[in-house]
Amino acid sequence: MKLSFAPLEGITGYIYRNTHAEYFGCCDEYYTPFISPSDNSKIGRKGFRDMLPENNTVIRPTVQVLTNNSVSFLKFTEKLKEYGYDEVNINLGCPSPTVVNKKRGSGLLRERELLENFLDEIFEKCDIKISIKTRIGFSSADEFSDLLALYNKYPIKLLTVHPRSRADFYKGEVNLDAFKEAYSLSQNPLCYNGNVFSKEDYNKIASLFPYLDSIMLGRGAVANPAIFREIHGGKPITTTQMLEFTEILKDRYNAILSSDKFTMHKLKEIWLLMMWNFPKEEKILKIVRRTESLSELMRAIHSLPQLET
């Protein structure tokens, strides 16, 4: 069963992916945060940089696209082919209101005719592999049976299911009953994603669904970047390793961004998740949350105690 690192907007860009692969590794597949080509098929500078081969020399990720326009999608995949990619992943899960209001991401799930027409067109004309990351519905899990029947019409390389509806955002427990339906009825290879924050969480999913192609970790892998190693039987992460990893990221972000402020914001977003490992350190968490200074952020995290192993 493979392990993959979910795309997290603003966090898992190429600097983070390369550094994680070098320092921690043990992850089989990485995904880019979604790239959203405009309706005239232009790609923003940020997304363009993230998929360039010269920025992905350590590991070659799977590129994720966010669109509901088949023409833009097909032109985008032609650009991917020029760069040597042979697969694209479609984001049908993003719950952000700005995305949903454009009928993209999970917003496309409530536009069933538009979604079906889009999938018909791209699967007929695209000549690279297509994978999909989806939620189980827009308003509720009651929509999932019809969605799954639709997905079963197509030769999807990998169907990644996050068993929450858009209405759930990331709140509460995942809907394992809905995922069981996918596990039983999906005619495509299946990946599980959602609420895997520890080796024990992974073992639970792997035991419930032993024939999955893969399990995808997102926030849990940012909070504990050694989790893939731990799942493989390696040692738990230490505070020292977190800090060493952060120092490398700091230097690499600064080299590209040339700004302590921008680097601070990048590291702050990461550390708001990594602080999950230090539930008693409320004062340091407050500093991480409020700081606008890179030096203050670094001093705060360097004062953290060693994790118990």
Task: Inform me whether the pLDDT recorded for 4 exceeds 90.
Answer: yes
Read off the pLDDT band of 282 (50, 70, 90). Answer: very high
Per-residue confidence (pLDDT) for residue 39, from 0 to 100: 59
> DSSP class of residue 169?
T
Is position 308 within any domain? no
Q: Are residues 10 and 159 both part of a single domain?
A: yes
Domain count, the chain: 2
Helices assigned H by DSSP within 24-111:
45-51, 70-82, 97-100
Question: In this predicted structure, which of 44-53, 114-123, 201-210 has the lowest mean pLDDT?
Answer: 44-53
User: For residue 146, how many other CB atoms are within 10 A of its CB?
Assistant: 11
Is 29 part of any domain?
A: yes
User: In the structure, what pLDDT confidence band is assigned to residue 43 with cuts at 50, 70 and 90?
Assistant: low
Do 269 and 130 sit in the same domain of this protein? no
Say whether pLDDT at 41 is over 60. Answer: no
Of 231, 260, 292, at which residue does a domain stop? Answer: 231
Domain boundary, last residue among 176, 201, 231:
231
The residue written with tokens 């800090």 in the block is 243
Rounded mean pLDDT, 124-143? 97
Q: Could you tell me if 270 and 179 lie in one domain?
A: no
Residue 201 inside a domain? The answer is yes
Q: Which of 32-46, 101-115, 128-142, 160-174 has the lowest mean pLDDT?
A: 32-46
pLDDT of residue 32: 97
The lowest-confidence range among 8-12, 45-49, 52-56, 280-284 is 45-49
Does residue 169 fall inside a structural domain?
yes
In a domain, 292, yes or no: yes
pLDDT mean across residues, the chain: 95
Same domain, 130 and 159: yes
pLDDT tens for 74-121 read: 999 999 999 999 999 999 999 999 999 999 999 999 999 999 999 999
**Model pTM score:** 0.95
Same domain, 70 and 209: yes
Least confident interval from 43-52, 78-87, 199-208: 43-52
> CA 66, 70, 72, 78 torsion: positive or negative?
positive
- Which residue's structure tokens are 């040692």? 235
pLDDT at 40 over 80: no
Q: Do 96 and 52 belong together in one domain?
A: yes
Residues 89 and 160 in one domain: yes
The pLDDT, as a whole number, for residue 48 is 81
What proportion of the chain, given as a percentage, has pLDDT over 70?
97
Residues 179 and 209 in one domain: yes
Residue 277 lies in a domain: yes
User: Looking at residue 309, what is its pLDDT?
Assistant: 67
pLDDT of 269 reads 97
The tokens describing 13, both together, are 């860009």
| 227 and 249 housed in the same domain | no
Please indicate, yes or no, whether residues 244 and 151 belong to a single structural domain of this protein: no
- Please indicate, yes or no, whether residues 294 and 150 belong to a single structural domain of this protein: no
Q: What is the mean pLDDT of residues 2-8?
A: 97
* 309 within some domain: no
Q: Structure tokens of 157?
A: 């390389």
CA 164, CA 176: separation in Å to the nearest integer? 9
Cα–Cα distance measured from residue 113 to residue 232, given in angstroms and rounded to the nearest whole number: 43
Residue 226 belongs to domain spanning: 2-231
- Which CATH number do you get for residue 115? 3.20.20.70
> What would the mean pLDDT of 158-179 be, rounded to a whole number?
96
Residues 173-201: tens digit of each pLDDT: 999 999 999 999 999 999 999 999 999 99
Boundary residue ending a domain (179, 203, 231): 231
pLDDT at 223: 98
Task: Give pLDDT, residue 51.
Answer: 92
Has residue 158 been placed in a domain? yes
Contacts by residues 284-291 (CB-CB < 8 Å, ≥ 24 positions apart)? 291/264
Q: Based on the domain organization, do 157 and 91 belong to the same domain?
A: yes
